Amino acid sequence: MKFLNFFTQDIAIDLGTANTLIIHNDRVVVDEPSIVAIDRDSGKFLAVGNKALQMHEKTHENIKTIRPLKDGVIADFHAAEEMIRAFIRMIYKDKQRWIRPQYRMIICIPSGITDVEKRAVKDSAEHAGGRDVRLIQEPMAAAIGIGIDVEEPSGNMVIDIGGGTTEIAVIALSGIVCDQSIRTAGDEFNSDIIDYVRRQHNMLIGERTAEELKKRCGAALPVLDNPPDDVAINGRDLMTGVPKQIIIHYSELHHALDKSISKIEEAVLRALNNTPPELASDIYKSGLFLTGGGALLHGLDQRLSLKTKLPVHIADDPLRAVVRGTGIALKKLHDVPFLMS
């Protein structure tokens, strides 16, 4: 048995709509965008991760870029399988291995996905080399990753705003008591920004520009105490068809994102409304915990605090909270009740 274990590697995967992260030997070894580039004629995979992202929206007709995950679930089974396989190969890119190892994996999934969608994630991982594949719900992984003791009989609310979904869950006694999973998150924010720039400035920008704009001066409030600098963006003028540049102020992005942020607020209130009173008492003391890339939106913690009248805490390194929690769960593979086979 020990001989077989020598050829078995344990890895934790945060398979996200926007980015995929992998932990191996207690460190993040892969942090890449969840995107692949494919040759249309041959079907050959040309690039994955950052290299594929550099091609995104810049390809000619013989190359297409695909995001295998949409709204937190697998939309293209074959592309997802190849992407996972390529990312796993990155773990050993500097090492020569004569025997291909098998992998014990834990993979994060949104709390609101169906059994069919769970099966798709597991099948893709098994085809990519997984021997023993377990699943963990993202809010649970996020809670573990930010240091919450999920086994305690006290309630904590975690709000994980990723690329495809926003996961809101109340966690106690190693389980999710009530949750809300909505498909309003980072990708929706990008679409809102693209639409706003087109309507207000008659300019067309791409997803990558919208993503960069969101990171640099995306705002949840019209007035911020520590406002980000204005950002210059380039795009195509819809009236003349020629490239141009405009300056965007953070208050404009507040208007662009307001409707989507309101949907997240409503989902948080629904989750609080469904929380048992004793756990609600715990949450009143502990507050709400924000994780995921959306947690970095300027002023989002203040806005949620104003809406719920509760303290809101942004996790340290919120982008890696989920994968950190998955890595911790990996060490207790057979001892934790919240893993799904």
272 in the same domain as 249? no
Contact 318, 293 (CB under 8 A): yes
75 in the same domain as 136? yes
Q: Give the pLDDT score at 69.
A: 92
| CA–CA separation, 298 and 162 (whole Å) | 15
Q: Flag whether 340 is in a domain.
A: no
pLDDT at 4 over 50: no
Q: Give the position of tokens 């207000």.
A: 200
For 107-141, b/e burial (b = at least 16 CB within 10 A) is bbbbbbbeeebbebbbbbbbebbbeebbbbbbbbb
84 in the same domain as 178? no
Q: How confident is the model at residue 50 (pLDDT cuts 50, 70, 90)?
A: very high
205 in the same domain as 81? no
162 in the same domain as 30? no
Domain boundary among 210, 231, 256: 256
Q: Give the pLDDT score at 235.
A: 96
Q: Give the pLDDT score at 222.
A: 95
Q: Give the pLDDT score at 25.
A: 87
| CA–CA separation, 196 and 216 (whole Å) | 16
pLDDT at 186 over 60: yes
- The range of the structural domain enclosing residue 62 comes to 2-141+322-331
Q: Flag whether 279 is in a domain.
A: yes
pLDDT at 172 over 70: yes
246 in the same domain as 203? yes
Q: How confident is the model at residue 341 (pLDDT cuts 50, 70, 90)?
A: low
310 in the same domain as 269? yes
269 in the same domain as 248? no
Q: How many domains does the chain have?
A: 3
288 in the same domain as 177? yes
279 in the same domain as 217? no
Q: Flag whether 337 is in a domain.
A: no
Domain boundary among 207, 227, 256: 256
Phi, psi of 340 (to 5 degrees): -110, 135
Please state the three-class secondary structure of 43-78 as a single string: CCEEEECHHHHHHCCCCCCCEEEECCEECCEECCHH
Q: Flag whether 56 is in a domain.
A: yes
Q: What is the dihedral of CA 276, 281, 284, 288, to 10 degrees?
A: -40
251 in the same domain as 192? yes
Q: Give the pLDDT score at 338.
A: 62
The arithmetic mean of pLDDT across residues 81-100, rounded, is: 75
Q: Flag whether 341 is in a domain.
A: no
Residue 35's CATH number: 3.30.420.40
Residue 213's CATH number: 3.90.640.10
| CA–CA separation, 39 and 64 (whole Å) | 7
The arithmetic mean of pLDDT across residues 48-72, rounded, is: 92
The arithmetic mean of pLDDT across residues 188-216, rounded, is: 96
User: Within 13 Å, how many C-alpha atoms sit on residue 299's CB side?
Assistant: 23
Under DSSP, the state recorded for 341 is -
Q: What is the mean pLDDT of the chain?
A: 91
Domain boundary among 256, 285, 302: 256
pLDDT at 96 over 60: no
**Between 332 and 265, where is the model more confident?**
265
Q: What is the pLDDT of residues 203-251, one digit of tens each?
A: 999 999 999 999 999 999 999 999 999 999 999 999 999 999 999 999 9
| CA–CA separation, 68 and 75 (whole Å) | 6
221 in the same domain as 161? no
The arithmetic mean of pLDDT across residues 276-303, rounded, is: 96
% of the chain at pLDDT higher than 70 = 92
Q: Flag whether 78 is in a domain.
A: yes
Q: Flag whether 336 is in a domain.
A: no
Q: Give the position of tokens 């309101």.
A: 262
% of the chain at pLDDT higher than 90 = 75
Q: Flag whether 217 is in a domain.
A: yes
